[in-house]
Amino acid sequence: MQNLHICKICCTFAPDMKKLALIIVLSLLSLTYAHAETILLHTGARVKGTILFQNEEVVIVRDEAGQRFQYLRTDVAEILSDDAEEAEPVDIEAEPEITTSKKASILLEVAGGAAVNPNEAAGGAASVDLLVGSHHIGDRHLFIGGGLGYHGLFIGAEKYNFLPFQVALRMPFVEQKHAPVFGAALGYGVALSKEYQGGIYAGLDLGYRCQLNEKTAVAVLAYTQFQQAKVQTVTTIEGINYTNLTGRNLVAAGVKLALYF
């Protein structure tokens, strides 16, 4: 009877022992045939270990330290096998860098106002400037460029005409569609007459600008221009004429209309 009881116990646990044996065999096979792989993520990170499970949604991997990690399939860029040859680098999408715009922009300015010379009466002034430069630097609509223009000053009976070669800066205080703007220019005004010589030219602007699109804008500004000149004068002393060059500082101020395109 005792032997019969033992046989019944063996028959009861036999199926479970078969399952246990099958699990042990499969585990041994998985350890035997498992090989290390490298999981390359879209972030650029690499995880080296053994893939335990993967489908269309997730990838489960055990790293070399024995820890398990689960990754979404959409986060995995590529799976590299250590047994395979080195794969080509994956082109990982990066955030775009802010670069300086290389497109040229033209700035046309027309101005008019009053002019004065401390040694003479007041008069009028008119000017046209054509500048070429970059209108969009980095993430700012900042104009830096250079060019030339025509400046005419009519003071008393005298007329002064200059061709100023200049470098210019036009900078908005805030990066908005409607913004106050500051401008500055520095250069040399070439005289267009033999009766006087040119000199240093400088200008300051302050006004309001409206950005119409990426490159086009209009602005209305108050301006001040300074032009240095040397005028030929003749002095008679005891019947003898002496010719001299007298320095004069010509100042103009008024309103300017600017167009960026």
Quote the tokens at residue 114.
């009053």
Determine the Cα–Cα distance for residues 40 and 106; give it in Å rounded to an integer: 48
Fold assignment, 17-81: SH3 type barrels. (2.30.30)
* CA angle 74–77–79, rounded 5-degree value: 115
Note the pLDDT of residue 129.
Answer: 95
Q: List, in order, residues 6 or more apart from 181 with CB less than 8 Å away.
A: 170, 171, 172, 173, 205, 206, 207, 208, 209, 219, 221
Phi-psi region of 192 (alpha: psi -120 to 50; beta: other; left: phi over 0): alpha
Determine the Cα–Cα distance for residues 241 and 226; give it in Å rounded to an integer: 31
Note the pLDDT of residue 166.
Answer: 96
φ and ψ at 102, to 5 degrees? -100, 0
User: Which range is least confidently modeled, 42-51, 105-114, 142-151, 235-244?
Assistant: 235-244
Determine the Cα–Cα distance for residues 134 and 140; give it in Å rounded to an integer: 11
Note the pLDDT of residue 211.
Answer: 87
Quote the tokens at residue 225.
């221009």
Instruction: Judge whether 61 and 67 are in contact, CB under 8 Å.
Output: no
Note the pLDDT of residue 86.
Answer: 46
More confident residue, 207 or 104: 207
Instruction: Please name which of 140, 191, 195 lies closest in space to residue 170, comparing C-alpha atoms.
Output: 140
* For the chain, percent of residues with pLDDT exceeding 70: 73
Could you read off the pLDDT of 70-87 as tens digits, one per residue?
888 888 888 887 654 444
Note the pLDDT of residue 103.
Answer: 66
Note the pLDDT of residue 23.
Answer: 53
CATH number of 104-260: 2.40.160.20
Domain boundaries, the chain: 17-81, 104-260
pTM above 0.75? no
The DSSP code for 9 is H
Could you read off the pLDDT of 98-143 as tens digits, one per residue?
344 446 789 999 999 999 887 667 889 999 999 999 877 767 788 8
Determine the Cα–Cα distance for residues 256 and 223; give it in Å rounded to an integer: 6
Highest mean pLDDT among 46-55, 87-96, 184-193, 229-238: 184-193
